[in-house]
Amino acid sequence: MSIEDIVRKLGGRIIEVGRDVVTVKQAARELGVEEGQIIKSLVVITEEGPLLAILDGTSRLDLSKLRGRLARPEEVKELTGFEVGEVPPVGIPMRTLIDRKVMERRVVYGGGGSRRRLIEISPERIAEYQGAEIMDISDR
């Protein structure tokens, strides 16, 4: 199933931005939302295997809580099929952790599988679809 199909099935929507958007700041500016509504989907390499960590745009991942390291760009591409900055929060078949702060939002915006596309989706639907664990993974 494509990312577009998954997003629609989950009641989200695809937003064609029309230009490359790679950073949280760019995404927030393009959408006219605050940076805390933007989510980052980060691939972390741990001894137990790779995992997807989802945080809001204003938080930093605390790697010591996960006992891992951020995947290098080529590892992200190999493991997800997407480049850094494009990784969607759904449809990635790996253990997923969502920071508690993300769950406080009604709607979030994340990578849509392309640098010119974002998705709008409910964090609850991300958690359900990915079978995600909700925990404190940010450095705050």
- The CATH classification number of 3-135 equals 3.90.960.10
Q: The whole model's pTM is what?
A: 0.94
Chain segment 70-125, per-residue pLDDT in tens: 999 999 999 999 999 899 999 999 999 999 999 999 999 999 999 999 999 999 99
Q: Residue 78 has which token pair? A: 């190999």
- Residues 6+ away with beta carbon under 8 Å from 66: 44, 46, 51, 53, 97, 137
Segments making up each domain of the chain, as ranges: 3-135
